[in-house]
Structure formats: structure tokens, C-alpha cells
A = this chain, B = another copy of it.
Amino acid sequence: MNISEAAASAGLPAKTIRYYEDIGLLHPARDANGYRRFSDNDLHKLTFLARARGLGFSIEDCRRLLALWEDQERASADVRQLASAHLQGIEAKIADLRAMHDTLSDLVQRCAGDNRPDCPILNSLQS
């Protein structure tokens, strides 16, 4: 299976797959002509990566998750620890965004949005 099929199967752009190889997340074999040849295992890894990235894990987290995934002796506590830390990060981001949202939403509602220059949004940004 070559790269465009692998891309379709994993739901990732071919460019991204090349990039993942570049940074050592997987090592597909090569055909005689230099084309990448993706094994089932490569495909599983790509799908795993696509899902982990979809959950917002960083590339470095994905690398660790892949290592845990391939380690039959892993402790689920290690996976859980990684996921919990990430979950906390997500919660922090949501809180930040919520705060921005609430402030901004209030300002937008108070802005007349007409031809006149007076604007509570700009007023609130000014010292």
C-alpha cells in the first residue's frame, strides 16, 4: 500500500504522513523505486496517531502513547497519568476561552453596531 492509500485509510494528508516519518513516529519500508510501502502495522500506527491527535495530544505525547501501546508490559497507570495531564490542559484552555467568551460576548451585546463611532468594545480596550 502506497502513501495515498495509507492517507485515505488513516484520514491523514500524505504530507503529514511524510512528516511523521521524518520525526521518527513510524518507519515504513521502501519499494525498489523508492516509494513508501505501508504495512498493516504502519496503518494501525497511523490510525492511532490520527485519533490521538484528534483528542488533542501533542506529537510528543503521541510518541509516548505509541511507546506505551507497543509495550505489552505497560502499566495502565502510566497511560492514565498522561491522559489526565492532558485533560487538565484541556480544562485550563476551556476556562481561558470561556473567560474571553464571556467578556467579549458582553461587549458585543452592548455595542450598537451602527454608523456612529461610539463603541463599548474599543472603550474597554483603551486605558
Nearest to A126 among chain B residues (CB) is B48
Minimum Cβ distance to chain B for residue A3 (Å): 18
Q: Is A51 an interface residue (CB 8 A)?
A: yes
A119 to chain B: which residues have CB within 8 Å?
68, 74, 76, 79-80
Given contacts A111-B80, A116-B75, A117-B74, contact A124 B90 (CB under 8 A): no
Q: Is A27 an interface residue (CB 8 A)?
A: no
In the complex, the count of this chain's copies comes to 2
Q: Is A16 an interface residue (CB 8 A)?
A: no
A127 to chain B: which residues have CB within 8 Å?
43-44, 47-48
Q: Is A101 an interface residue (CB 8 A)?
A: yes
Which A residues are within 8 Å of any B CB, using their own CB?
Answer: 43-44, 47-48, 51-52, 54-56, 65, 68-69, 71-77, 79-81, 83-84, 86-87, 90-91, 93-94, 97-98, 100-101, 103-105, 107-108, 111-119, 121-122, 124-127
